[in-house]
């Protein structure tokens, strides 16, 4: 029977993590389980930066971006020695279950901790990149896409006023979901994602075709992990179309911040709530995800093995809808 759990956020922060922390803390307390908050992710486990949490500690955070527990990347946790220290600290505090909110790297760390020290762990997918398999949803993706959309809409206004071509780089590491979804939602003429090899000649042919039919405003959304890259693309296209005004914009970290959307708040709350119920039910090494709008669990060691595939249908649709 679980009596005390700990919760941490690890890796890249994502808006909605606070909603998940709040749900974990309050669900645990509701069920008579004590909760500890670990600050600075796995590094906090090693450094014993672990504090008891009460219901009031998570008041007024559901609407905030970032994570009230802070997050970090920990080199020490990559070593067996570091993980032994982490496990010893958890034992010292009497913690018998851990909730890890983070991305696939954090889940790899959780698998190692479980394999070596058998601490029951439930992972909650928290990443704006949405690159985790076994779940349709990851915390922060919805907010990040909405932030990108807001920025791209504004850029389109100025692109239209000046007849300019804009190449806009969005986040997502080696995944193209933010690019694909923000591109569709802003009516981008092209979307370039890391999951597909970029064909510059085809992009150029499209611009050429558009110019001939006097369509002068062009938005190309490029994922940061695209094989060709937004900046080189800008140079190549400027060379091919010297008369055109081509601008390159990197949206950057604004996509990580901001108040989470209703969707991120609700889904993150669901995951936090169910993560605690799962620990209570004796689950040990699972990710709490959402599939077809239902809570779905998948073994942590299987979800880290593959990426979520990108939807070909959506990629095809971009071409049709921008024609
Ligand atoms: P994310 O969780 O957002 O993918 P990272 O990839 O940076 O972020 O991972 C977060 C942390 O998880 C790392 O700093 C490290 O402490 C831990 N971690 C990642 N991969 C491993 C691994 N293979 N073994 C142990 N710990 C890992």
Could you report the per-residue pLDDT of 80-96, keeping only the tens digit for each?
999 999 999 999 999 99
Instruction: Identify the residue whose tokens are 């979307």.
Output: 191
Tell me which residue has its CA closest to atom 19 in ligand 1. 105
Residue 20: predicted pLDDT:
98
The span from the CA of 23 to the CA of 104, in Å, is 21
CA 102 – ligand 1 centroid, Å: 9
What is the pTM assigned to this prediction?
A: 0.97
Residue 309: DSSP 8-state: P
Residue 192: predicted pLDDT:
97
Q: What is the pLDDT of residues 190-226, one digit of tens each?
A: 999 999 999 999 999 999 998 888 887 899 999 999 9
CA 74 – ligand 1 centroid, Å: 7
* pLDDT-derived band at 54, boundaries 50, 70, 90: very high
CA 78 – ligand 1 centroid, Å: 7
Average pLDDT on 139-145 reads: 98
Tell me which residue has its CA closest to atom 8 in ligand 1. 11
Let me know: does 286 contact 123? Beta carbons within 8 Å.
yes
Helix (H) or strand (E) holding 100: strand 97-102
* pLDDT-derived band at 110, boundaries 50, 70, 90: very high
* Ligand 1 atom, smallest distance to 72 CA: 14
Residue 317: predicted pLDDT:
95
Nearest alpha carbon to residue 238 among 253, 248, 225, 223: 248
Which of 129, 131, 142, 264 is the catalytic position? 129
Let me know: does 291 contact 308? Beta carbons within 8 Å.
no
Tell me which residue has its CA closest to atom 12 in ligand 1. 106
Tell me which residue has its CA closest to atom 21 in ligand 1. 109
Let me know: does 192 contact 233? Beta carbons within 8 Å.
yes
Query: DSSP of 21-70, one letter per residue?
Result: HHHHHHHHHHTT-EEEEETTHHHHHHHT-EEEE-GGGGTT-TT-SS-TT-
Q: Look at residue 307 and tell me whether its pLDDT is greater than 90.
A: no
**Ligand 1 residue neighbourhood (C-beta within 6 Å):** 10-12, 42, 73-74, 77-78, 102-106, 108-109, 112, 127
Residue 113: predicted pLDDT:
98
Average pLDDT on 155-178 reads: 93
Tell me which of 42, 106, 173 to substitute to probe ligand 1's pocket, judged by most ligand atoms within 8 Å of the beta carbon: 106
Let me know: does 142 contact 177? Beta carbons within 8 Å.
no
Residue 163: predicted pLDDT:
82
Residue 161: predicted pLDDT:
85
- Which residues are 288's β-sheet partners? 297
Residue 102: predicted pLDDT:
98
Let me know: does 40 contact 101? Beta carbons within 8 Å.
no
Residue 228: predicted pLDDT:
96
Tell me which residue has its CA closest to atom 9 in ligand 1. 105
Q: Helix H segments across 118-224?
A: 141-162, 177-185, 200-212
Q: What is the pLDDT of residues 260-283, one digit of tens each?
A: 999 999 999 999 999 999 999 999
Residue 121: predicted pLDDT:
98
Q: Look at residue 153 and tell me whether its pLDDT is greater than 90.
A: yes
> What are the DSSP E strand ranges found in 156-284?
165-170, 190-192, 218-223, 246-250
Q: What is the pLDDT of residues 68-82, one digit of tens each?
A: 999 999 999 999 999
CA 304 – ligand 1 centroid, Å: 11
Residue 213: predicted pLDDT:
87
Tell me which of 20, 105, 117 to substitute to probe ligand 1's pocket, judged by most ligand atoms within 8 Å of the beta carbon: 105
What the block records as the tokens of 176 is 């193209």
What the block records as the tokens of 191 is 């979307």
Active-site residue, 76 included? no
Give the three-state DSSP class for 302.
helix
Q: Look at residue 319 and tell me whether its pLDDT is greater than 90.
A: no
* pLDDT-derived band at 289, boundaries 50, 70, 90: very high
For residue 41, what are the contacts with CB-CB under 8 A and spacing of at least 6?
8, 9, 10, 11, 70, 71, 72, 73, 74, 102, 106
Environment class of 161 (CB within 10 Å of its CB; exposed 0-12, middle 13-18, buried 19+): exposed
Average pLDDT on 9-15 reads: 96
CA 101 – ligand 1 centroid, Å: 12
């Amino acid at each position: 029977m679980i009596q005390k759990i700990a919760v941490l956020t690890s890796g890249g922060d994502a808006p909605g993590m606070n909603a998940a922390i709040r749900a974990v803390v309050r669900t645990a307390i509701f069920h008579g389980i004590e909760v500890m908050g670990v600050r600075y992710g796995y590094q906090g486990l090693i450094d014993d930066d672990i504090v008891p949490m009460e219901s009031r500690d998570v008041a007024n955070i559901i609407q905030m971006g970032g994570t009230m527990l802070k997050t970090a990347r920990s080199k020490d946790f990559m070593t067996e020695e570091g993980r032994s220290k982490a496990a010893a600290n958890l034992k010292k505090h009497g913690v018998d279950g851990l909730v890890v909110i983070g991305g696939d790297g954090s889940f790899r760390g959780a698998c190692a901790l479980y394999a070596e020290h058998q601490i029951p762990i439930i992972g909650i997918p928290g990443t704006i990149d949405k690159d985790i398999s076994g779940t349709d949803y990851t915390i922060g993706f919805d907010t990040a896409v909405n932030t990108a959309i807001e920025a791209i809409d504004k850029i389109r206004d100025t692109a239209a006023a000046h007849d300019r071509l804009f190449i806009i780089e969005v986040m997502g590491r080696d995944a193209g979901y933010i690019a694909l979804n923000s591109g569709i939602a802003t009516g981008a003429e092209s979307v370039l994602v890391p999951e597909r090899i970029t064909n510059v000649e085809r992009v150029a042919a499209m611009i050429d075709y558009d110019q001939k039919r006097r369509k002068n405003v062009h938005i190309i959304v490029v994922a940061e992990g695209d094989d060709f890259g937004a900046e080189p693309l800008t140079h190549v296209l400027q060379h091919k179309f010297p008369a055109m005004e081509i601008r390159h914009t990197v949206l950057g970290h604004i996509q990580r911040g901001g108040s989470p959307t209703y969707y991120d708040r609700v889904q993150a709350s669901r995951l936090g709530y169910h993560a605690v119920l799962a620990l209570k039910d004796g689950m040990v090494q699972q990710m709490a995800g959402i599939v077809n709008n239902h809570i779905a669990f998948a073994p942590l060691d299987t979800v880290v093995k593959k990426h979520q595939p990108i939807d070909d249908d959506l990629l095809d649709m971009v071409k049709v809808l921008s024609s």
